[in-house]
Chain A
Amino acid sequence: MNLDKVDAIVIASAVLLLAMLLGMVLGIWYLAFFAIPLLVTVFMGLGSLDREGNWGPTVPWLIGFGVISTALFVWAGIGMFDRTPDFGGFTSGMGVFLYVIWPFCTIASGLLYAYVYKKWLRSDVRRDTN
């Protein structure tokens, strides 16, 4: 069986989903927690493939988004059990989530989508409309 990029992404997704499932059922919080940014990055990679299965110039931006979001989750995870409300009135884990991860993901993911579409995926749409 020949595996292409989409197959590899689906397998990676299955591994991450399995880790999340085990984490949620067995109460291993970090398995579920740290799989989130990785799964998001994998899905963004899936959505950025063009019809021929290429990423083109979008790869550095996708990797950058994945690295930053994973680093932010690690930051939040480190402060997860610190109960001191010293991050804008919240515990550091919640504070990082509310003040950093939420705005970053909301803004950066939208901009990244626009960039990927404009630079790479639009040619697929043009081809369909021609």
Chain B
Amino acid sequence: MLAALLFGLYLTQIIYLLGAFGWSAFAAAIFGPIAFGLYWKRATGVATTVTIVIGLGFNVVATVLVAREIITLPDYFFVGGVSVVLSMLVFIVVSYLTQSAKDEDGFAALYPVDDDAVDQSRQASLETKGLA
């Protein structure tokens, strides 16, 4: 209760900061690995780990530096947005640098392709919809 009282009296923006910081850290850490990792055969586990570390780390450091006015962002831009975009770029670059046959094999194993089954299933779907 004392902490809540102190927060309420002296840290008027704490909820906003916790929310904004938390969501941007969350997005910076996982958006790239999930969005690209689900579909991209060159995505790697190393890139995921590096992205999570950099996404979280950059977000903390940049938030503190901006709050202390050591660095500034242009008006209307938020450090969380920079964190998310930067971490996605990091994921792409590191994936290209660390791509391996092992990761591609793992990706292929997740989504096995059976051409006959695909054709039959798609044909049935199109016929059902009257598109065939």
Q: Name the residue of chain B whose CB is nearest to the CB of A14.
A: B92
Cross-chain contact B77 with A18 (CB below 8 angstroms): no
B101 at interface (Cβ–Cβ under 8 A)?
no
B113 CB contact (under 8 Å) in A13, A51, A57, A122: A51
Give the CA-CA distance A31 to B95 in the complex, in Å. Answer: 25
Residues of B contacting A119 with CB < 8 Å? 125, 129, 131
Residues of A contacting B114 with CB < 8 Å? 127
Give the CA-CA distance A113 to B122 in the complex, in Å. Answer: 18
Cross-chain contact A20 with B85 (CB below 8 angstroms): yes
B6 at interface (Cβ–Cβ under 8 A)?
no
Residues of B contacting A10 with CB < 8 Å? 36, 40, 42, 92
Give the CA-CA distance A9 to B38 in the complex, in Å. Answer: 13
Contact size range, B: 20 to 34
Cross-chain contact A24 with B121 (CB below 8 angstroms): no
A86 at interface (Cβ–Cβ under 8 A)?
no
Given A7-B42, A52-B113, A126-B125, is A25 in contact with B73 using a C-beta cutoff of 8 Å? yes
Give the CA-CA distance A51 to B13 in the complex, in Å. Answer: 46
B70 at interface (Cβ–Cβ under 8 A)?
no
Given A14-B89, A123-B122, A126-B121, is A24 in contact with B77 using a C-beta cutoff of 8 Å? yes
- Among A24, A25, A57, the most chain B Cβ lie within 10 Å of the Cβ of A24
* 13 contacts across the A-B interface (CB closer than 8 A): A10-B42, A13-B36, A13-B92, A17-B88, A18-B89, A21-B89, A24-B77, A27-B75, A29-B76, A52-B113, A119-B131, A123-B121, A127-B121
